[in-house]
């Protein structure tokens, strides 16, 4: 059903000219973000700008570490979610702010490099022989599922200025990291400093999202009430930070040479010897 809805959205986009697509082909949709959004507040600019810098540094460090170790450094679900999100907000539903559009295209480029590394290094990064044999296919299928889901979800929440998809994407990026760290021999391909920068970005983004109802309004109602001021999104934000904390602890244990518990496999010989 998700894939079918996503294909329907893509069909709408392809059936109209590009300028019309950028404004929204379906007249029944909620108003576009650029029709309702007001100017950014100083709080958003400062906190959001710091988060943007942290994410960019995290991407660059992840690319460098993956190239050094010849292992991809983001979980499959994480990198495919990241790429799908950036594509949606860089190409299909671009932000009304010029700076935000530039940042989205920069991140799309960086995510494309990470995605390429995932395709390239997936056979040697996956320890299970059967999965390693068909690793590029597994990456492609995961990308297709995440892209279809992100298009559907983003199109449904288009009036939320991207915050609802951002919250969900942030959680989907953080959640599988502890598993990857605990099962990857020696945590190869995963940047320790890059992990810190990504966690910092998550903390700043969470602060920005949760505080938004208090310092931003349009139409007399707090912007973000639907997307940030409810138990569901607060639970996602809390879960994201919990996963980030667990990831940092696991990486610390590995770096300290821990040999106990589920981390015993981290001292094993890498899959390619």
Q: Is residue 113 part of a domain?
A: yes
10 Å CB burial of residue 219 (0-12, 13-18, 19+) is exposed
Q: Is residue 273 part of a domain?
A: no
Q: Is residue 28 part of a domain?
A: no
What is the tally of structural domains in the chain?
A: 1
How many angstroms separate the CA atoms of 161 and 6, rounded?
Answer: 19
From residue 261, give the alpha-carbon distance in Å to each of 130, 141, 182, 265.
26, 32, 10, 9
Residue 256: what are its φ and ψ, rounded to 5°? -85, 0
How many angstroms separate the CA atoms of 115 and 74, rounded?
Answer: 9
The pLDDT tens digits for 141-193 are 999 999 998 888 877 765 455 677 888 888 999 999 999 998 888 888 898 99
State the pLDDT at residue 113: 95
> Which of the 8 DSSP states describes residue 29?
S
10 Å CB burial of residue 34 (0-12, 13-18, 19+) is middle
How many angstroms separate the CA atoms of 89 and 131, rounded?
Answer: 32
The pLDDT tens digits for 242-268 are 999 999 999 999 887 754 554 444 444
For residue 206, give its domain range: 43-256
State the pLDDT at residue 220: 45
The pLDDT tens digits for 65-97 are 999 999 988 988 999 999 999 998 888 888 777
**CA–CA–CA angle 116, 120, 123 (5° rounding):** 140
Q: Is residue 262 part of a domain?
A: no
Q: Is residue 34 part of a domain?
A: no
Q: Is residue 271 part of a domain?
A: no
Mean residue pLDDT of the chain comes to 75
Q: Is residue 123 part of a domain?
A: yes
State the pLDDT at residue 125: 74
Report the interhelical angle of 163-174 vs 76-87 (nearest 10°).
Answer: 160
The pLDDT tens digits for 100-150 are 889 999 999 999 999 999 988 888 777 677 777 888 888 899 999 999 988
Q: Is residue 272 part of a domain?
A: no
């Amino acid at each position: 059903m998700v894939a079918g809805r996503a294909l329907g959205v893509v069909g709408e986009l392809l059936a109209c000219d590009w300028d019309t697509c950028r404004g929204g082909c379906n007249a029944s949709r909620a108003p576009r973000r650029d029709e309702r959004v007001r100017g950014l507040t100083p709080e958003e600019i400062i906190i959001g700008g710091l988060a943007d810098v942290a994410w960019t540094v995290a991407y660059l460090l992840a690319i460098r570490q993956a190239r050094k170790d010849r292992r991809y450094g983001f979980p499959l679900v994480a990198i495919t979610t990241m790429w799908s999100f950036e594509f949606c907000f860089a190409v299909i539903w671009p932000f009304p702010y010029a700076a935000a559009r530039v940042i989205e295209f920069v991140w799309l480029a960086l995510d494309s490099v990470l995605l390429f590394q995932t395709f390239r290094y997936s056979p040697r990064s996956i320890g299970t022989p059967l999965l390693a044999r068909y690793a590029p296919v597994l990456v492609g299928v995961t990308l297709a599922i995440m892209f279809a889901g992100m298009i559907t979800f983003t199109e449904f929440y288009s009036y939320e200025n991207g915050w609802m998809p951002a919250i969900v994407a942030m959680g989907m990026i953080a959640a599988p990291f502890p598993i990857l760290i605990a099962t990857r021999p020696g945590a190869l391909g995963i940047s320790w400093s890059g992990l810190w920068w990504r966690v910092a970005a998550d903390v700043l983004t969470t602060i920005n999202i949760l505080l938004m109802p208090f310092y931003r309004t349009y139409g007399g109602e707090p912007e973000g009430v639907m997307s940030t001021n409810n138990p569901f999104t607060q639970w996602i934000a809390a879960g994201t930070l919990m996963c980030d904390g667990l990831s940092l602890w696991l990486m610390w244990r590995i770096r300290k040479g821990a040999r106990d518990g589920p981390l015993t496999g981290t001292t094993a010989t890498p899959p390619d010897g």
